[in-house]
Each structure stands twice: as structure tokens, then as C-alpha cells.
Structure 1
Amino acid sequence: MVAVRGGAAGDFRLNLVEENADARELAVRDYFARHLARMRPLEQLAKREQGYVASRLRADMRTVDMQETIREWEFKLHADYSVLGQILTYVALARKELDFRVVRGVVAAFTFSDEVALANEVMNLNIELVTLPEWMRGAGKVTGHSTGVSLPRIPQIAQPE
């Protein structure tokens, strides 16, 4: 658990996100990228950590298919509504930078909150939602379903003989 200072009054709020979540997401992304030909045979990896000229933001991965459709990827362990803003921003930056070529957003995650699929469908966002297979959790050492809550570690105490 990480304490984050924020707000004008200097209030403290707790950010209940695993400290290693970013590293785990990157490990899963790297595994997916290495095995892209098996997972998505009609796409080729263009770049990991795709940046944009007009921004410091970076998409996790960019792929290109045989019709030259560009896909900007965002990987999450669990995707909630905040990922929609991320991927839409990456798609907008890429379209502007690439003279409005066809660019699609892709969110890959082990689990999605219900609101993500609902917003994508109702608002016609045209974002591809890819559910990562459970066996791929091993790539990022992701155990079970992420709850967003850090559990305490219980030390082992040596037993008297």
C-alpha cells in the first residue's frame, strides 16, 4: 500500500494499487510481444513503448496488420474505466501524428470491469477488448485475481525444539 499526498489541503489518501503492478504488466506485455506471431498471426510488432512527438505519453505496444491497420495497445492486469481515457488518448495522438491513418485501440487484460465493455458498446468507441488467457499470468508472476488490496506478510516463526 502506498500513501500519496494530494490536494490543496495536503490531505493524504491511500492508493490501494500493488507497487509492482507496472512491472508485472510490462512482463506480460513483453511475453505477449515475443509470442505475437502465435497469438495474433496476422499482425506484426512495430514497437514496444510507442511514444508520440507531441506528448510524453506512450502506448505499451504498437502492431500493424496486413491491411496496414495500426493498433495501439494498453496492457492491464485488471482494466477499469480509467483505461478508456488512456487508450482513446493514444489513438488520438497516433491518428494525428500519422495523418489520420486507420488506428485502433486495443486493451488487453486478464479481467475487465463491466463498465468498460458497456461504455465501449454504448458509446461506439471501437476499442478491441482482449481477455488475456489465465495461463499467461505466469509471465508476469501474477497470482490469482488482482483485488487491488495489499495483504500483510505473516513471518514464519521458528518453533522451539
Structure 2
Amino acid sequence: MTSTSPEAAMPAPPQPNDQPHRYAVHMEPQLQQTGQAWTAAYPGAQWSVSAPSRAQALHRLGEEVTRRQNDGEDVFAYTTSILQRHLREPIPGVYAVDNELYRELIHAPEAERQRVLDEAERRRRVGLTYTRDDYLNEGRGTHPH
């Protein structure tokens, strides 16, 4: 039997214990300008870098990640805890994306990848899914592999 009540059409809100194992975590660097300096950091990281320009700050962030990894540090070891926090309350720069969809986006152009990340987050926040099949059914998954 099909219900036509407005409540039946409303998606369930995201749950605090949403299934973290079904998501890939994508994190975008967060930038802040203070006076003449730019600071760049990944969401939830306990460290940051600064530089005179936005571009230099992003470059230094990449260098710092590489340096830390070369020193044996697991730079993104905290992603599980940041994902769990993000599923409870959105964190700027963090995206929880269906694992299969995320793998599909590896070779997608940057603009397409960002569009899909934004759409996946938008849907997840209102209790909807956005899977690889959803993406492919939209005819968007046509980038060369």
C-alpha cells in the first residue's frame, strides 16, 4: 500500500550512527587569510602552514603532507574520527561519499568531481543516497578511464 501523506515523502534525516564504512572521506584544504598571510590546513588536522599567498599556502601544505609522510607519519590517520564527527554535524571541507562513487571519480575532471562531491553531500545531509549507479544513470559517468 502506498502512502500519500507528506511525511511519507520526506527523507529520513541523517543518523548520528550513519554507516561510516560505506563512505570514502574526501577532504579539501581550508584556507584563511589574516592580514598579509594565508594559512592552509586540512579539516581536523592539528597542524597548518602559512605563506604570503593562497597559492603558496596550498603548495606548502602539499609539501608538508609529503614531508610528514616521508618521516613515517600517517598524516590522515584521523579520517575515521573526522568522518564520524562529520556524519553527526557537517564539517567544512569534508565530504562523505559512497565508496563506489568515489572510485568512479578518480579520473573525472576537477570540476565534475567537485560537482559530484557537492551533490553527494547535499543528498546525504537530507537522508538520501547518491551512489555510483545514480551518477551513471544521470549520464554523467562518461569521462575517459
More strand by share: 1
TM-score by length of 1: 0.22
Larger RCO: Structure 1 or Structure 2 (Cα < 8 Å, ≥ 6 residues apart)?
A: 2
More helix by share: 2
